[in-house]
């Protein structure tokens, strides 16, 4: 083909089959091998992509025409489906059906375009040497099928999640097509697969066209209006059915493509449901108000940005689908004894204790290859691995986020448990939709007694009621929140919905160090604004700006005009400069800065700003903002006092947890986990010690109440039990009787439950477990073979009843490697569930874990039953193992 005549086109027709892709490449190589020289590979690659897309989606004969010229080459790829329009790649969703090849055309070709008509669609491009200038090109309007069309509205479509959903659809359908070409359609009918491919492609075209009119907002969502064929609903339902079949094949291992993670699958179902439902006459439902389990995190709709992790004060680690850490903040690294840069790039297993690594591998693999999530979105009590080898108790909350190119990342928040406080509190953004429209004034109900009064008084009363409601709601937002930072952000959300365009809250400590906790702007989500929160410069003597003035006790300050805190030349300190920079970024037309003052102490400041010149803050607003600030400050002060009390109780409670004895023939393990939802600490406790005669004493209990008094009563009860048990070494029933007498005599109002037991027997066995229970849940015996039995005999009245009567006890023989589990009610009790059902579920789990090491046994129970627990949990497990016998280690 060396004697090619310039400008003479060469055309070849290819059948709609996979082999045509290779044949088209060879055709290009034959024609351009010598004529095009160095850019022949570009033309070959582009023809490969375009013919692949035509075979896969158009499923018609493909015609390739090559016209070599002296300084460039024109290539035209035509199919016979003009109604199936092209969809150029968009930055918003790069993983699309035909967008892959078109993206390469845009990158490599010097000119390109698309032509439709006369029963065919042609994508053409020109390639030339690197020196050839690129001409201005575009794809033009996407073609669509003729016929009547309807409007479908997608409200709050999340950009990054949509990208991930499109990418997953593309991967599943492409592999189905490859399987069908290989003779195995995986149960999908060929005609359904053809409809599914067309519909997938057209949905991408519809969304692309809508995005050209309405790009995504700064919070990563878009509300789009799609132009959809009126008869598209059956095709959308077929696409959904085909994808469900593909997901099932992927979960069963018959496909290489991975099924969707839960959030992606939920978005896909919502998207298809919106299209089909609205075509059937239904109303649109916003993605942001659709209930989903697990509940999405506050950043789910925003494309992942490593800065979100680095800037967060919550210990946070992000990992990719290859199980590698891609981002970590200083709080998480410091909690685990690392520097952030040392952890990035390492496997996630680096921070997982050895006895849980296999469990993590299985769960992570299950999520990737089956799409079934076990702990996503749940608060799970677990230990993390410190660099020095010790275990750090945390609550783990894992959520998925998606990058702009559709990749899935797993973002883990490591919330320290009792006694392991990390710098900063938990970071939780408000998720509820706006309760009021922006700047709306609440309208009170007018009673009959008020009907006859002067109508001019109604607006005054309406405004007064609205302001009173704001004071009440903001105060309640702080006091009702178990997370102080979350309460602050909820306050900001309320105020930006009803009063201001921006709300900023800065909190300062006793040493003058401050932190900007809440920066929220008014939008339909009320989410924190990125990039503003974080540590503030200290309050120095040189600070003279409005923030510094209110922190020193000045009254509410009214600021007017852009950046009106002070002239640039009068910025006297880093704190002043930081506050001025905030105003410059907000674009505020007016603002009020007020101190958060409680008990004569200034806790911080609140800044409310408006950006609309037509409705500025005035002097008349100062008194109201001052009242608001006072209510918020009182709530913050009460929360801090409550947190301090809780911290004391928690430290007391944890300081009393015993060091477990090490015996050659008995394995012992224990766990204590405070509640994940209550801000109080209860009276759960356990103990384990060896008596002078060699018997092992084990006990577990729960003092009524959730406060410091309960923790103190728990410590006293525990100490009394130890003294009574060691003094006389009496049978468990008698020890519990004496404990009840002492408790009633010294603490008449204290009530509690407990189990006290002894493990007796020589090292080689046999062993007996003798116990007495005072109103407590029965111990659970699980044999090595998975047989379970509750030891319900030996149960009497709870402690504190005042009745001096014999306490029952019971004895049971322990088989080798059997496990006795003592537990408190927080492990099993669930709202709306009967006790029998709860106990039955616990038996099923212990039977499954019967052969696991005790540490794994307990951690798995917490993972399966202790997530999002509404009460404290204490666990104590023991297992007799003859010396020298093979058994799981501790």
Across 214-228, 477-491, 536-550, the highest mean pLDDT is recorded for 536-550
CB 294 within 8 A of CB 376: yes
Quick one: pLDDT at residue 299? 40
How many structural domains does the chain have?
Answer: 5
Q: What is the pLDDT of residue 133?
A: 63
Residues 686 and 834 placed together within one structural domain of the fold: yes
Pair 165, 224 in one domain:
yes
Over 50: is that where the pLDDT of 448 sits? no
Single out the residue of 82, 117, 88, 112 nearest to residue 100, CA to CA.
88
Confidence tier at 452 by pLDDT (50, 70, 90)? very low
* Whole-number pLDDT of residue 429: 33
pLDDT tens readout for residues 188-207: 888 888 888 888 888 888 88
795 and 831 co-located in one domain: yes
Q: Residues 762, 696: one domain?
A: yes
Nearest C-alpha neighbor of 610 from the set 488, 502, 492: 502
Q: Are residues 782 and 835 in the same domain?
A: yes
Q: What is the spatial distance between Cα 31 and Cα 416, in angstroms, rounded to a whole number?
A: 67
Give residue 300's pLDDT: 47
Spatial CA neighbour of 875 closest among 823, 812, 816, 808 = 823
Kindly report the CATH number assigned to the domain that includes residue 96.
3.30.565.10
pLDDT in tens, 629-677: 888 888 888 877 766 766 666 666 666 678 899 888 899 999 988 765 5
Mean per-residue pLDDT for 462-469? Answer: 74
Establish if 434 belongs to a structural domain.
Answer: no
Q: CA–CA separation, 804 vs 875, rounded Å?
A: 29
pLDDT at 748: 66
Task: Please check the confidence at residue 740 and state whether its pLDDT lies above 60.
Answer: yes
**For residue 431, what pLDDT is reported?**
34
The span from the CA of 601 to the CA of 599, in Å, is: 5
Q: How much is the pLDDT for 533?
A: 74
Instruction: Say which residue, 132 or 503, is predicted with more confidence.
Output: 503
Which CATH number fits the domain that encloses residue 352? 3.30.450.20
Q: Is residue 711 part of a domain?
A: yes
Same domain, 797 and 872: yes
- CATH classification at residue 533: 3.30.450.40
Q: Is residue 824 part of a domain?
A: yes
Q: Decide which of 487 and 241 is more confident.
A: 241
Domain boundary among 289, 315, 335: 289
Q: Same domain, yes or no, for 641 and 660?
A: no
Residues 703 and 580 in one domain: no
In 3D space, the residue among 519, 564, 511 whose CA is nearest the CA of residue 539 turns out to be 511
Cβ(436)–Cβ(473) below 8 Å: no
Start-to-end Cα distance in the chain: 75
* Residue 432: pLDDT over 70: no
**Residue 428 predicted with pLDDT over 50:** no
Q: What is the pLDDT of residues 37-55, one digit of tens each?
A: 567 788 888 888 888 878 7
- Cα 868 to Cα 690: distance, rounded to the nearest angstrom: 34
pLDDT, position 2: 46
| Torsion angle, alpha carbons of 745, 746, 748, 752, to 10 | -100
The per-residue pLDDT for 524 is 46
Per-position DSSP letters for 663-693, written without gaps between them: -SSEEEEEEEE--SS-SS--EEEEEEEE-TT
pLDDT for 422 equals 35
* Most confident stretch, 311-320, 461-470, 507-516: 311-320
Residues 866 and 858: their CA atoms lie apart, in Å, by 10
Q: Is the model more confident about 307 or about 470?
A: 470
381 and 358 both lie in a single domain: yes
Neighbours of 407 (CB within 10 A): 17
Return the pLDDT at 786: 93
pLDDT of residue 841: 92
User: Domain of 52?
Assistant: 10-127
Dist CA 221 CA 156 (whole Å): 5
Q: Which of 313, 320, 396 lies closest to 352 in space, CA to CA?
A: 396
Residue 584 domain-assigned?
yes
How buried is 159 (Cβ within 10 angstroms: 0-12 exposed, 13-18 middle, 19+ buried)? Answer: buried
- Span 852-868, average pLDDT: 87
Strands 534-536 and 379-385: unpaired
On the question of pLDDT at 436 being above 50, the answer is: no
- Pick from 289, 319, 349: which residue ends a domain? 289
In a domain, 431, yes or no: no
Q: Residue 158's pLDDT band (boundaries 50, 70, 90)?
A: confident
Query: What's the CA dihedral at 822, 826, 831, 832 to 10 degrees?
Result: 10
pLDDT at 284 exceeding the cut of 80:
yes
The pLDDT tens digits for 789-818 are 999 998 888 888 767 788 999 999 999 999
* Residue-level pLDDT at 162: 87
Binning pLDDT at 50, 70 and 90, where does residue 67 land? confident
Between 572 and 151, residue with greater pLDDT: 151
The reported pLDDT for the residue numbered 676 is: 54
Among 407, 57, 55, CA closest to 258:
407
CA torsion 580→584→585→591, rounded to 10°? 80
pLDDT at 567 over 50: no
How many angstroms from the chain centroid is the CA of residue 308?
A: 13
CA distances from 830 to 417, 755, 835, 837, 871 (A): 22, 22, 9, 10, 10
In terms of domains, do 493 and 622 share one?
yes
Among 645, 671, 695, residue at a domain's last position = 645
What pLDDT sits at residue 488? 85
Q: Does 281 fall in a domain?
A: yes
631 lies in the same domain as 688? no
Q: Do 171 and 234 fall within a single domain?
A: yes
Q: What is the pLDDT of residue 822?
A: 97
How would you class 613 by CB atoms within 10 Å of its CB: exposed for 0-12, middle for 13-18, buried for 19 or more? exposed
Domain assignment of residue 19, yes or no: yes
Residue 182 lies in a domain: yes
pLDDT score, position 116: 80
**Has residue 295 got a pLDDT over 60?**
no
């Amino acid at each position: 083909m060396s004697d090619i005549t310039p400008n003479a086109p060469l055309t070849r027709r290819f059948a709609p089959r996979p082999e045509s892709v290779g044949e088209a490449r060879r055709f290009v190589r034959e024609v351009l091998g010598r004529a095009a020289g160095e850019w022949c590979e570009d033309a070959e690659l582009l023809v490969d992509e375009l013919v692949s897309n035509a075979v896969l989606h158009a499923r018609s004969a493909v015609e390739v025409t090559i016209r070599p010229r002296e300084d460039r080459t024109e290539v035209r790829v035509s199919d016979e489906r003009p109604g199936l329009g092209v969809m150029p790649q968009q930055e918003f969703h790069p993983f699309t059906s035909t967008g892959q090849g078109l993206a390469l055309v845009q990158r490599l070709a010097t000119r390109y375009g698309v032509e439709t008509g006369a029963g065919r669609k042609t994508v053409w491009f020109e390639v030339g040497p690197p020196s050839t200038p690129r001409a201005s090109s575009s794809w033009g309007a996407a073609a669509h099928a003729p016929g009547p069309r309807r409007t479908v509205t997608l409200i709050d479509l999340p950009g990054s999640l949509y990208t991930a959903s499109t990418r997953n659809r593309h991967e599943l359908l492409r592999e189905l097509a490859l399987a069908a070409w290989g003779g195995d359609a995986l149960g999908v009918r060929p005609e359904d697969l053809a409809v599914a491919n067309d519909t997938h492609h057209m949905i991408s075209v519809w969304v692309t066209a809508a995005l050209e009119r309405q790009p995504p907002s700064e919070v990563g969502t878009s509300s789009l209006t799609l132009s959809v064929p009126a008869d598209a609903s059956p095709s959308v339902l077929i696409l959904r059915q085909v994808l469900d079949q593909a997901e099932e094949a992927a979960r069963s291992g018959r496909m290489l493509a991975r099924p969707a993670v839960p959030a992606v699958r939920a978005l896909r179902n919502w998207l298809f449901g919106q299209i089909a439902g609205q075509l059937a006459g239904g109303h649109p439902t916003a993605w942001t108000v659709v209930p989903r389990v697990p509940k999405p995190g506050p950043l789910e709709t925003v494309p992942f940005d490593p800065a979100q992790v680095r800037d967060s004060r919550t210990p946070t680690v992000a990992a990719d689908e290859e199980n590698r850490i891609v981002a970590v903040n200083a709080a998480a690294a410091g909690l685990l004894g690392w520097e952030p840069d040392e952890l990035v790039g390492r496997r996630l297993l680096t921070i997982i204790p050895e006895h849980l690594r296999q469990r993590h591998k299985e769960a992570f693999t299950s999520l990737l290859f089956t799409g079934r999530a076990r702990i996503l979105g749940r608060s799970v009590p677990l230990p993390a691995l410190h660099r020095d080898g010790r275990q750090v108790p945390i609550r783990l909350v894992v959520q998925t986020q998606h990058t702009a190119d559709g990749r899935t990342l797993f973002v883990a928040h490591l919330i320290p448990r009792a006694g392991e406080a990390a710098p900063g509190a938990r970071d939780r953004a408000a998720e509820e939709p706006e309760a009021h429209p922006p700047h709306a004034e609440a309208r009170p109900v007018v009673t009959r007694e008020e009907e006859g009064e002067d109508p001019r008084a109604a607006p005054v009363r309406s405004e007064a009621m609205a302001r009173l409601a704001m004071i009440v709601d903001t105060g309640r937002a702080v006091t009702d929140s178990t997370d102080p930072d979350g309460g602050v952000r909820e306050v900001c959300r309320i105020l930006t919905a009803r009063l201001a365009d921006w709300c900023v809250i800065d909190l300062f400590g006793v040493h003058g160090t401050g932190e900007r906790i809440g920066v929220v702007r008014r939008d339909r989500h009320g989410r924190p604004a990125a990039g503003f929160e974080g540590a503030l410069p200290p309050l120095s003597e040189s600070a003279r700006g409005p923030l510094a003035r209110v922190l020193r006790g000045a009254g509410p300050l009214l600021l007017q005009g852009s950046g009106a805190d002070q002239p640039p030349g009068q910025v006297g300190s880093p704190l002043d400069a930081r506050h001025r920079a905030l105003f410059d970024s907000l674009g505020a037309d007016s603002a009020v800065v007020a101190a958060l003052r409680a008990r004569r102490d200034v806790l911080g400041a609140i800044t409310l700003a408006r950006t609309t010149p037509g409705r500025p803050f005035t002097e008349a607003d100062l008194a109201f903002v001052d009242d608001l600030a006072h209510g918020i400050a009182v709530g913050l002060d009460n929360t801090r006092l409550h947190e301090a009390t809780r911290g004391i109780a928690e430290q007391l409670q944890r300081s009393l947890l015993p060091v477990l004895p090490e015996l050659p023939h008995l394995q012992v393990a224990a766990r204590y986990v405070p509640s994940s939802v209550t801000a109080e600490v209860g009276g759960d406790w356990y103990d384990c010690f060896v008596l002078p005669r060699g018997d092992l004493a084990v006990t577990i209990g729960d003092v009524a109440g959730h406060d410091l008094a309960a923790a103190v009563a728990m410590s006293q009860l525990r100490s009394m039990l130890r003294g009574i048990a060691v003094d006389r070494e009496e049978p468990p029933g008698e020890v519990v009787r004496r404990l009840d007498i002492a408790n009633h005599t010294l603490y008449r109002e204290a009530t509690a439950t407990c189990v006290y037991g002894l493990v007796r027997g020589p090292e080689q066995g046999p062993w007996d477990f003798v116990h007495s229970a005072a109103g407590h849940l029965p111990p659970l015996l699980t044999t090595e073979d998975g047989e379970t039995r509750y030891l319900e005999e030996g149960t009497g009245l709870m402690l504190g009843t005042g009745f001096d009567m014999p306490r029952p006890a019971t004895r049971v023989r322990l088989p080798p490697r059997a496990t006795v589990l003592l537990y408190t009610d927080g492990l099993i009790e669930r709202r709306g569930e009967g006790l029998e059902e709860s106990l039955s579920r616990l038996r099923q789990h212990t039977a499954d874990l019967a052969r696991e090491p005790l540490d794994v046994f307990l951690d798995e129970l917490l993972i399966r039953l202790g997530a999002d627990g509404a009460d404290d949990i204490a666990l104590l497990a023991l297992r007799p193992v003859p010396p020298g016998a093979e058994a799981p280690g501790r």
